Amino acid sequence: MERSKLNQLQFLIIIILAILSIQVWTGDYINLFSLFPIGPVNFSLNGLFQALQVAGFFPVYHASEGILLFAFSFLVLIFALKTKKKGIVIISIIGSSAVISATIGGMFFVFSGFLENGYSMQMGGSFIGAYASYFLVLFLTKRM
């Protein structure tokens, strides 16, 4: 893989790690200080946005970060595939899977009316998996 493409992959990984770092702080803030609406949430995209909006700024911001992470995880995966290095590709797939898992956990946490803490736990555990994976990918790309 040419050096410029490798640099782009490393830059994307640094961006995703920065967003993940902010994401965990906003998630902790929401978990500790946000007041969630009481009652059922319509199981739709509109219901998701309405519930987040009622919950306030930080949940909306947290969800926006999640959308960015979702997009960046696929960009990292595309660049990782171009390296043709099995370890980088496998760990990037694990990182993307962790981001997808966190996204699903977050959506279902909102759809549960912010009551099913297992989904919140799924977000936290998936964060750890994504964070570790992307650090490993960065480490492996530095060795190329």
pLDDT tens, 13-53? Answer: 999 999 999 999 999 888 888 777 666 677 777 777 777 77
Domains, the chain, in order of start with CATH, read 3-142 (1.20.120)
pLDDT tens, 82-135? Answer: 999 999 999 999 999 999 999 999 988 888 878 889 999 999 999 999 999 999
| pLDDT given for residue 50 in this prediction | 74
Whether residue 63 is predicted with pLDDT greater than 90 in this model: the reply is no
| pLDDT given for residue 39 in this prediction | 66
User: In the 3-class helix/strand/coil scheme, how is the chain assigned residue by residue?
Assistant: CCHHHHHHHHHHHHHHHHHHHHHHHHHHHHHHHCCCCCCCCCCCHHHHHHHHHHHCHHHHHHHHHHHHHHHHHHHHHHHHHHHCCHHHHHHHHHHHHHHHHHHHHHHHHHHCCCCCHHHHHHHHHHHHHHHHHHHHHHHHHHCC
